[in-house]
Amino acid sequence: MQKQIISTLIFLLLALPYSVFSASEENEPTAQPPEAPKLESGNNWRLVRSVEIGSSGKFIQLVLIEHGVYTDKTVYSAVINRLCNADDDFCRIRFWSQERFIPEKAAMSIEQNKQLRAEYLVNKTAGTKQLRWSCTVDPDKKHCF
């Protein structure tokens, strides 16, 4: 009888770790890589990236406007309304119509600056609110850069 009890205990001890391991493995969800945050987009535009200005905690939104509609100012208005809130103290958006010219950081090369289509800036602390256009979007020399 004692031999049978010892055999049963050995069997249970050997089986226990396997059953615990296999049961927990079956119930554990498979680890998934974290999803990248979805960037804003809309009709004829897409937020490509948001870059910090130095270490200020303020960001510039870098937006791609579809090349075929980059002269349509209503697209820019839609972006501004989506990305900036009326109560924001700071909001800055830069627009390009070709993704290859969108910079990786806040500073721009000469070529990236030449390809910039528009820039919107609200800085309530400085009392600034402006929307500037490239001359390819708005040929009026009073409004374009």
pLDDT tens string 61-79: 999 999 999 999 999 999 9
Q: Which residues pair with 62 in a beta bridge?
A: 49, 94
> Which pLDDT belongs to residue 9?
43
> Which pLDDT belongs to residue 84?
95
Q: Where do the structural domains in the chain lie, given as residue ranges?
A: 41-133
| CATH class of segment(s) 41-133 | alpha beta
- Between the alpha carbon of residue 17 and those of residues 6, 12, 13, 22, 25, the distances in Å are 18, 9, 7, 8, 12
Predicted confidence (pLDDT) at residue 58 exceeds the cutoff of 70: yes
Among the residue ranges 22-31, 34-43, 103-112, the one predicted with the least confidence is 22-31
As a whole number of angstroms, the distance between CA 119 and CA 62 comes to: 10
